Structure 1
Amino acid sequence: MNHPAFPPLRNTALPHTFRQIRIERAREHGHPEGDSRTAYILIAPLDDEGRIDATVWAAHKEACRVVRKRADGDDSLGHLVRGPGGHWRFHYDVSGKTADESGHHFENERFELGEYVSVREADGPHAYRVVAVNAL
């Protein structure tokens, strides 16, 4: 899917620290087995400890993206943005139909296989598990 606000990424022009990260809904009330159809795919640079690298992000903001995946609807495309206090948000500026969501303490989280992270969505915080971290 191409959109003017999302030109194709040229991964050869990005630092080698950029990763494609997939997080899926972890077990919680209503989803005792988790839900792989409720997920996010992030394109972001990670530092040596697996945290989002804010310095590299600042130099390559346009390349830092998010795809919000839901089984009952279309994917929402957005950018990974840094808000006040260094907090990370998902800004869906293409369709304008989905409110921003925020990564709960993403500035301290490690994006490594099996780790858990939280995303604050419109209906509250939800736990997600890192299921893939791949080089671009």
Structure 2
Amino acid sequence: MTLSRIVMRLARNPGTEFAGGDDRRGYALTAPLTDDGRLDETAYARHKSDCAVRRFSPDEDPADGRLAKRGQRWFFDYDDEDVADDEPVYRLGEHRFAVGEYVTVTDEDGRPLTYKVVEVQPVS
């Protein structure tokens, strides 16, 4: 099983203060991927503790968390004791992680924002 580092940056989000996007905001995710770039659920089940996420932004400290799954719902979790901090990721299990693809993450304020995959690299 190989883990990948996936970097997603805030894409254009018309109707928000991020209408033009913002490359300084995003996520760095470590997760196992299949050969076609989708989340490898079997490998995830065996290596949950290795699946991490870091949210970054120029106006706040980075937030470190983990990739989590409850039923069919994937989300970023920053505190095991607090479900209010969970950031659901829209249809994450169906996304293909390849440069140029888009992923929607619901932020801590409940807003769905679109991010563009800008990097996918194996973790050595």
- The answer to whether TM tops 0.5 is yes
Percent identical across equivalent pairs? 37
Higher strand share: 2
Corresponding position: 1:26 with 2:7: no
Flag the 1:92–1:71 CA change in 2: closer, same or farther, 3 A.
same
| Alpha-carbon contact 2:79-2:85 (below 8 Å) kept | no
Task: Within 5 Å, give how 1:94-113 maps onto structure 2.
Answer: 99-113=85-99
Aligned partner of 2:62 in structure 1 is: 75
The alpha carbon displacement at 1:123 in A equals 3.2
Cα distance in 1 between the residues matched to 2:80 and 2:96: 28
TM-score normalised to structure 2 length: 0.89
Greater displacement, 19-28 / 30-39: 30-39
In structure 2, stretches of 5+ residues that fail to align are none
Task: Please state whether the residue corresponding to 2:96 is helix, strand or coil.
Answer: coil
SS state of the match for residue 45, structure 2? Answer: helix
How many residue pairs get matched?
Answer: 119
Partner in structure 2 of residue 93 of structure 1:
79
Show CA shifts across 1:14-69 (max 9, x none). Answer: x22x1000001101132233111110000000012211111000100000000011
Q: Which aligned runs of 4 or more in structure 1 are off by greater than 4 angstroms? A: none
Take 2:39 and 2:80, find their aligned partners in 1: how far apart are those partners?
Answer: 23
CA contact (8 A) 1:76 1:95 kept: no
Match of 1:66 among 53, 60, 85: 53
Q: Is the 8 A contact 1:28 1:127 kept in 2?
A: yes
Q: Aligned Cα RMSD in Å? A: 1.7
- Tell whether 2:30 aligns with 1:43: yes
